[in-house]
Structure 1
Amino acid sequence: MGERAANYIVLVGVSVLVLAPILTILIAAFSPASASAAREGAFHPGNFVAAWQEGRFGSYMATSVLVAAIVVTLAVGLSLLSGYAFGTMTFRGQNVLFYLFLLGIMVPAEAIIVPLFFDLRTLGLTDTVWAVSLPQVAQSVAFGTYWMRTYFRGVNRSVIEAARLDGASSQRVLWSILVPMGRPAITTMVVLMFMWTWNEFLIPLVMSPSGSFRTAPLGLALFQGQYTQGTALLAAGAVLVALPVVLLYFLLQRHFIRGMLDGAVKE
């Protein structure tokens, strides 16, 4: 009984530490933006409309949606193919190639961002959506390959062997059998890739020096520079930028948690 009470106390304490900053931002987002607004009341949902219009978040979020769609679509497709190869097949140089993929997880973007910028500028890709998207595709594929390899190696081999005995090709095994079976793992990967892409700050900042392709986090930073004292509008802008990730997580929460638990058990 005492152990259970201690567990609840620890959980409540951690929950308070995690939720307190979020509640603080939400309260600030609905608070009056000025002294004149304070005389009209303490609850101001109009801050979100003002932040959306003055911060031009519509344009920035559209760019973020475009970049996230490109990154997630390409990265998920490539990760499924590479993870399937590493997880179910045996070929020469397999371990070397896999460790090469792992370098994409271990090497931080800050270490390669400058030479990468000059390479993309030589190719004429800077200030385009591809300069912002392709480096993030490479980063996401590195993680996705590792993630899907773990899933495919944990699949019961008898399922694959039975499908091949029935005449199914490797492509048919992947798309018709393993992908539907691995929906929780794939959903978890999609949520993580979307979250990382949406929150990425450095790559869009460097790869679009003219600001032609500012994403939502960059727009929020610019908005902060304009409203250093307007905490209510800043908080409203922060909520707007974070909202798509939160909504996606809640929509896919069941599959996300199941995928995380399955991955933990298999590891």
Structure 2
Amino acid sequence: MKTVARSERWSGYALLTVMAIVVVIPFLSVFLASLQPAGTPVVGLTWPERWSWDNYETAWSVAGFSDLIRHSLIIAVGVVPACLVLAALAGYALGTMRLPGGNAMAAFFIAGLTIPVELIVVPLYFDLRNLGLTNSYLGVILVEIALFMPFSVFWMRTHFLSTPMSLVEAARMDGASSATILVRILLPLARPSLMTLGLLVFMWSWNQFLLVLVLIQDTTKHTAPAGLGFFVGQNSTDIPTLAAGTIIVMLPILILFVVFQRSFLAGLLQGAMKG
């Protein structure tokens, strides 16, 4: 039995190692390409003969990434807290309360996971134009909140469903209100799940490209991914500079993951064990 368990463990390690290599190689290739001298033709995974960091300075100044990143942060900072608050409230109600039609509402949110943004982006544009919300960050923030809510509610509902109801019932017997139970008892227990959800929503908001491209025609208000798209069109032959721009756009997400990786993984593992 020990031999079988050991072989399974090493087989798992080998599979994870192969998967890690497959994931890391494209990122390593882009990073090494960004260190090539500007204008150098790059094919595949190529080690630079001379490391050049000038591409980052060029990409930063030419594409105006300081403004683009600021715009992305404005949208993400508006989306993430709203999603967390609304998802916690809806997940608490659907997960701990016996509401008439509660299961139907939960199914409605789950059905929202199947709607691709490409299907609704054009109707959304006309609706927001009629409301005067095109070319504004508020319009994008509202749309992203609506797009991310199905998964957010599903995530928090799953967490609250796994919460021991004895805690809730004991608090209610002591006279605690629903708001008190949520804020003082359940939300502290939900911290890993909230942290993971916040990181996921931030990542999804940061990576939005098509939505921003359609809803904001003013290029001075574009976000980092949309600005990178224009930058690619203007410098399609300079691969090292394009790679540097790609790394700049990816860097905030990578830094955020490194800083909060323990909370992120704890939330994922908590959800996996509860599921």
Runs (5+) with no aligned partner, structure 1: 36-40
What is the deviation of 1:99?
2.0
Change (3 A) 1:176 1:4: closer
Report the alpha carbon displacement of residue 63 of structure 1 after superposing the two structures with TM.
Answer: 0.5
Q: Which residue of 1 aligns with 2:274?
A: 266
Find 2:16's aligned residue among 11, 16, 29.
11
Q: Deviations over 1:126-172 (max 9, x none)?
A: 11112211111011111110000000010111111222222221111
What letter matches 1:33 in structure 2? A
- The Cα of 1:178 is off from its aligned counterpart by 0.9
**How is 1:88-103 mapped onto 2 (pairs within 5 angstroms)?**
88-103=96-111
CA contact (8 A) 1:104 1:138 kept: no
Return closer, same or farther for 1:53/1:151 CA change in 2, 3 Å cut-off: same
- State the Cα distance separating 1:95 from its structure 2 match: 2.0
* 1:107 match: 115
- Aligned equivalents of 2:104 and 2:198: distance in 1? 26
Displacement after TM superposition at 1:13 (Å) = 2.1
The one-letter amino acid paired with 1:85 is A
Q: Which runs of 5+ in 2 are unaligned?
A: 1-5, 41-48
- SS of 1:43's equivalent in the other structure is coil
Q: What amino acid is the match of 1:259? A: G
Q: Which amino acid in structure 1 is aligned with residue 195 of structure 2? A: T
Q: For 1:125, what is the secondary structure of its paired residue?
A: coil
1:121-160 aligned at under 5 Å gives the runs 121-160=129-168
Is contact 2:35–2:240 with CA below 8 Å preserved after alignment? yes
Equivalent position amino acid for 2:191 in 1: R
> What's the CA shift for 1:3?
4.7
Residues 30-179 of structure 1 aligned to structure 2 (within 5 Å): 30-34=35-39, 42-179=50-187
> Quick one: distance in 2 between partners of 1:105 and 1:221?
26
* 1:222 matches 2:249: no
Q: Is the 8 A contact 2:39 2:237 kept in 1?
A: no
What secondary structure sits across from 2:232 in the alignment? helix
How much does 1:18 deviate?
1.0
TM-score between the two structures when normalised by the length of structure 2? 0.91
SS of match in other structure, 1:252: helix
Distance 1:61 1:191 in 2: 17
2:242 aligns with 234
Change in Cα spacing, 1:5 to 1:93, as seen in structure 2 (3 Å) is closer
Provide the C-alpha distance between the structure 1 equivalents of 2:197 and 2:7, rounded to a whole number of angstroms: 39
Could you list the per-position Cα deviations for residues 212-257 of structure 1 after superposition, in whole angstroms to 9, with x for gaps in the alignment? 4311101111111111111111111111101111111111111111
Aligned to 1:116, the other structure's residue is in SS state helix
Distance in 1 between residues matched to 2:145 and 2:9, nearest whole Å: 45
Contact 1:76 1:141 in 2 (8 A): no
Q: Deviations over 1:192-221 (max 9, x none)?
A: 100111001111011112334311101111
8 Å CA contact retained: 1:191, 1:256: yes
Q: How many residues align?
A: 262
Q: 1:148 to 1:8 in 2, by over 3 A?
A: closer
Matched, 1:207 2:215: yes
Amino acid at match of 1:77: V
Note if contact 2:193-2:271 (Cα within 8 Å) is conserved in structure 1: yes
* C-alpha contact (below 8 Å) 1:83/1:145 kept by paired residues: yes
Q: Which residue of 2 aligns with 1:38?
A: none
Q: Percent identity?
A: 40
Larger displacement relative to structure 2 (190-199 or 11-20): 11-20
Counterpart in 2 of 1:256? 264
C-alpha distance in 1 between matches for 2:164 and 2:210: 41
2:159 touches 2:193 (CA, 8 Å); kept in 1? Answer: yes
CA distance in 1 between counterparts of 2:98 and 2:16 reads 45
